[in-house]
């Protein structure tokens, strides 16, 4: 989601070795957080932890709560907005005080969910209504429901690309690089912006999984891959493109000075051409365009430059998962907030996000994708726990910014090595981690 990045889609992750499985904090009640059938019987004050500091600050969350209490008049909702969401909530989970409703920190191992969160229902039952239930499922029960989803892709300034003579989406990494070269040659805009310093945007490059291969099992296959960066693999293609962008001097000259908040205004005003983020960012960049006195329609969204059978394959991914603390004294009220937020609030639509509710329409941000006849891919999470275990044991950090920051440093000559040696090192670490995780 959104803390300092103002997004609702993961943030800067802390060391996976500090997983809460190894921390203190006593387990709470195993009582189910059941959906209430009669709003009049639900009561209590609940605390909702959120990384949406922006929406708490501008009163948006308070307005959502006011609408909620029209349906649940005996429930009082208060919010705690946390800037360093991952870091602070991880620490709080050593105690029993981590709110009633929270977004599950990415650092929490999936097999630890039953220790810290109340079950929301069976995976079979909830999957009939909601997307992404596999992300929060442990042993047949769901402990977290996605706040929303987003498609992977590049947010870009259409006016900048058009001035460089590019009007069609590139279909290969080489063509994409050529288009960035054309933007650089035209002058006036940084072709690509890494957001290196904030870090978390670099973690989104792992979201390339599934797009080049158009394979819904791309993430699961990491559990048995001898080398996830082998030639032709999704990660090799994605990380190779990032490396080539930086090595070709198509990104900002000093990555150590990047700033996420500033980057939104710069892209909206045409000083930056392109950023790899996700469809959730379209609404934010359009808002930035309005503030800059620019046309919001100048903000575009394009898929990763690779096709399978002539079609782009953007992957729809879940963002943070809503969960109910196992320590909550008002589990039914907490569950009521989650249900209402997903089903009735309009929160996903307001953010042009993919609703977790299967029956909901796709957001306007994905209209160009739909019109282009793309093949949307939703990744299987069947082997997510094993992939997570290997990632932790290997210390690669697929969901942390470190290895891609190093990749960028190598690409710009600030660290030794080259693309092949860097990715070979990651492959070896992964193989060693797979053995350690057996």
Please report, in angstroms and rounded to a whole number, the separation of the first and last CA atoms in the chain.
Answer: 32
Asked if the domains 16-149+320-359 and 153-313+362-438 are classified in one and the same CATH topology, the answer is yes
Q: What is the pLDDT of residue 110?
A: 85
Burial class, 224, CB count within 10 angstroms (exposed 0-12 / middle 13-18 / buried 19+): exposed
Residue 165 structure tokens = 């003579």
Which residues of the chain carry a pLDDT beneath 70? 1-28
Residue 274 structure tokens = 């392109």
Among 3.30.2310.20, 3.40.605.10, 3.40.30.10, 3.40.190.10, name the CATH number for the domain at 153-313+362-438: 3.40.190.10
φ/ψ region of 133 (left if φ > 0, alpha if ψ in -120 to 50, else beta) reads alpha
Rounded Cα gap, residues 50 and 34, in angstroms? 22
Q: Are 377 and 217 in contact (CB under 8 A)?
A: no
Q: What is the DSSP string of 148-194?
A: -EEE--EEEEHHHHHHTT--S---SHHHHHHHHHHHHHH-SSBSB--
- Alpha-carbon distances of 263 from 4, 104, 156, 182, 289, rounded to whole Å: 12, 27, 12, 21, 12
Q: What is the pLDDT of residue 15?
A: 34
Q: What is the pTM of this model?
A: 0.85
Rounded Cα gap, residues 99 and 326, in angstroms? 10
Domain ranges, ordered by start, for the chain: 16-149+320-359, 153-313+362-438
What residues form DSSP beta bridges with 251?
192
Q: What is the pLDDT of residue 86?
A: 83
Rounded Cα gap, residues 146 and 130, in angstroms? 9
Q: What is the pLDDT of residue 5?
A: 40
Q: What is the pLDDT of residue 17?
A: 34
Rounded Cα gap, residues 269 and 295, in angstroms? 9
Q: What is the pLDDT of residue 26?
A: 61
Q: What is the DSSP string of 369-433?
A: HHHTT---EE---TTHHHHHHHHHHHT--TTSSHHHHHHHHHHTTSSS--HHHHHHHHHHHHHHH
Other CB atoms within 10 A of residue 18 CB:
13
Q: What is the pLDDT of residue 146?
A: 97
Among 3.40.190.10, 3.40.50.10440, 2.40.50.140, 1.10.3720.10, name the CATH number for the domain at 16-149+320-359: 3.40.190.10
């Amino acid at each position: 989601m959104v803390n300092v990045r103002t997004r609702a889609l993961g943030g800067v992750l802390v060391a996976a070795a500090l997983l809460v499985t190894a921390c203190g904090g006593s387990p709470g009640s195993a009582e189910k957080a059941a959906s209430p059938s009669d709003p009049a019987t639900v009561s209590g004050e609940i605390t909702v932890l959120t990384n949406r500091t922006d929406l708490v600050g501008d009163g948006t969350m308070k307005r959502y709560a006011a609408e909620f209490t029209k349906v649940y008049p005996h429930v009082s909702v208060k919010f705690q907005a946390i800037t360093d969401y991952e870091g602070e909530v991880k620490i709080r989970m050593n105690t029993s005080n981590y709110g009633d409703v929270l977004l599950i920190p990415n650092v929490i191992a999936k097999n630890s969910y039953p220790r810290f969160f109340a079950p929301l229902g069976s995976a079979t039952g909830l999957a009939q209504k909601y997307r992404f239930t596999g992300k929060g499922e442990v042993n047949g029960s769901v402990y977290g429901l996605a706040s929303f989803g987003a498609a992977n892709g590049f947010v870009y300034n259409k006016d900048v690309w058009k001035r460089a003579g590019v009007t069609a989406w590139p279909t290969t990494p080489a063509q994409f690089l050529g288009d960035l070269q054309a933007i650089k040659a035209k002058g006036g805009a940084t072709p690509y912006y890494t957001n290196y310093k904030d870090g978390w945007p670099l973690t989104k490059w792992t979201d390339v999984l599934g797009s080049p291969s158009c394979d819904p099992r791309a993430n699961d296959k990491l559990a048995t891959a001898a080398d996830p960066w082998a030639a032709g693999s999704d990660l090799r293609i994605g990380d190779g493109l990032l490396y080539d962008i930086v090595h070709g001097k198509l990104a900002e000259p000093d990555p150590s000075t990047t700033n996420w908040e500033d980057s939104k205004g710069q892209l909206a005003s045409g000083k930056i051409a392109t950023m790899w983020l996700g469809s959730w960012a379209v609404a934010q960049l359009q808002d930035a365009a309005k503030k800059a006195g620019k046309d919001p329609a100048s903000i575009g969204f394009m898929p990763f430059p690779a096709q399978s059978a002539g079609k782009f394959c953007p992957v729809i991914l879940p963002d943070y998962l809503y969960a109910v603390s196992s320590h909550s004294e008002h589990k039914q009220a907490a569950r009521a907030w989650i249900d209402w937020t997903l089903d009735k609030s309009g929160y996903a639509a307001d953010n042009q996000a993919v609703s977790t509710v299967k029956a909901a329409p796709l957001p306007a941000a994905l209209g160009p994708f739909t019109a282009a006849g793309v093949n949307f891919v939703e990744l299987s999470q069947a082997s997510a726990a094993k992939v997570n275990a290997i990632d932790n044991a290997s210390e690669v950090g697929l969901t942390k910014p470190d290895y891609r920051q190093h990749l960028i440093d190598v690409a710009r000559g600030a660290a030794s090595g080259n693309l092949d040696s860097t990715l070979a090192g990651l492959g070896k670490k992964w193989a060693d981690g797979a053995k350690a995780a057996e």
